[in-house]
Amino acid sequence: MRHRLIIGVVTLIALATAATARADMRLAYVDIQRALNDSHNGKTAKAAFRGHLDHVQAQLVGEQAEVQRLKDEIEKKGPLMEPDQRQNLENDYAKKLRDFQDDYKASSDELQEKDKEMTGAIVRDLATVVRQIGEKNGYTMVLEKGSLLWAAPSIDITDQVIRAYDAMNVKPGSLGGAAAGRPGQGGGGQFSSGGPPPNAAPPPAEPSGGDEGRSTISK
């Protein structure tokens, strides 16, 4: 009986200690993607990225149109051409198709890298701001919204983080701190005179980063 009483007392003490720990714990969460989209630096970076993306797509659309023009010319006029003339046209088409595919792949890779660079600089800043707010307000832990199944809106500090970051008026990436943490189709073979030319690939879409939950300036 005495042994059971001791176990009961220890259990009650443990439960009381756990309840006290939970009462002292302060939790919050932040939506990094929204902070990235709505902060001043994020909006500026997104506009710059969009302008660069539009420029790249316009250039690729022009290259694609020239490839398509040569393809149509081969299909319509090729059978009526002299063999040497047809071969020259096919060679010109094959070269411009390869150039387009190479530019498409290089542009897609460059856009992905630019997105990663611009996003990373701002996310590192936001991580620093979150840490400062967490320390100042005595939070035990600040979580990222993307990692939560559910949380009460009352502990969302995203707006506070955005206001604090904007008030600093700093250059992206200047705060440092710890970070939170498609390519184009380059395929397509050479044209063979025994069949129709392959279709040119479409210009690259806005890069998505390929990772659900990863913050990106292109979202």
**pLDDT for 211:** 52
Residue type (1 letter), 171: K
Mean pLDDT confidence for 89-110:
96
Mean pLDDT confidence for 32-36:
96
- How far is 161 from 157, CA to CA, in rounded Å? 6
- How far is 119 from 36, CA to CA, in rounded Å? 8
In a domain, 16, yes or no: yes
In a domain, 42, yes or no: yes
| Higher per-residue confidence, 20 vs 122 | 122
pLDDT band of residue 188 (cuts 50, 70, 90) is very low
- How far is 134 from 182, CA to CA, in rounded Å? 36
* φ/ψ (deg, to 5) at 27: -115, 150
In a domain, 141, yes or no: yes
Kindly state the tokens that stand for 116: 């990663």
In a domain, 38, yes or no: yes
Residue 206 pLDDT more than 50?
yes
Kindly write down the DSSP assignment for every residue of 45-104, as one continuous string.
Answer: HHHHHHHHHHHHHHHHHHHHHHHHHHHHHHHHHGGGS-HHHHHHHHHHHHHHHHHHHHHH
pLDDT band of residue 20 (cuts 50, 70, 90) is very low
- How far is 217 from 132, CA to CA, in rounded Å? 23
pLDDT band of residue 26 (cuts 50, 70, 90) is very high
Mean pLDDT confidence for 142-146:
95
| Higher per-residue confidence, 134 vs 17 | 134
Kindly state the tokens that stand for 178: 């710890």
In a domain, 215, yes or no: no
Mean pLDDT confidence for 160-184:
77
- How far is 130 from 116, CA to CA, in rounded Å? 20
pLDDT band of residue 212 (cuts 50, 70, 90) is low
CB 204 within 8 A of CB 103: no
**pLDDT for 109:** 97
**pLDDT for 203:** 52
In percent, the amount of the chain with pLDDT more than 90 equals 66
**pLDDT for 195:** 38
In a domain, 97, yes or no: yes
Residue type (1 letter), 20: T
In a domain, 117, yes or no: yes
- List own/partner pairs for 178-181 with CB under 8 A and 24 or more apart: 178/124, 178/127, 178/128, 178/131, 179/120, 179/123, 179/124, 179/127, 180/32, 180/123, 180/126, 180/127, 180/130, 180/144, 180/215, 181/123, 181/127
Domain with 28, as residue range(s), is 2-168
Mean pLDDT confidence for 137-147:
95
Q: How many CB atoms lie within 10 A of CB 50?
A: 13
pLDDT band of residue 185 (cuts 50, 70, 90) is very low
Domains in the chain, number: 1
The conformation of residue 193, written as its DSSP 8-state character, comes to T
**pLDDT for 208:** 47
- When mean pLDDT is compared across 31-35, 76-80, 150-154, the lowest value belongs to 76-80
C-alpha 201: how far from its chain's center? 22
* φ/ψ (deg, to 5) at 28: -150, 165
In a domain, 196, yes or no: no
